[in-house]
Amino acid sequence: MMLWNTTRKVVTWWVVTFVTGDDWTVAAAVGAGLLATWGLLRAGVPAWWLLPPVVLAATVSSLYRAVLRERG
């Protein structure tokens, strides 16, 4: 039980610290961007350009929501 609790705490810390942070939607957008890049590459499309705009759009959207939250 103690081992399970410790493992759960470590995994939660790791996921929150390295993956989701304060906004899980950015991590989800990055995941979707990677998946789409992989799909396009498999279809023979040189999709190196896809990830940067996806990352930028997710960041802009996250910052906008953060400002809205600050407004209350």
- H-assigned helices in the chain: 2-14, 24-42, 51-71
Measured from the CB atom, the residue of 5 and 44 that comes closer to another protein is 44
Cβ atoms within 10 Å, residue 51: 14
Amino acid identity at 9: K
Measured from the CB atom, the residue of 1 and 67 that comes closer to another protein is 67
Contact mark string toward another protein, 40..59, x via CB under 8 A: -x----xxx--xx--xx-xx
Amino acid identity at 37: T
Q: Which residues are at the interface with another protein (CB under 8 A)? A: 17-23, 26-27, 30-31, 34, 37-38, 41, 46-48, 51-52, 55-56, 58-60, 62-64, 66-67, 70-71
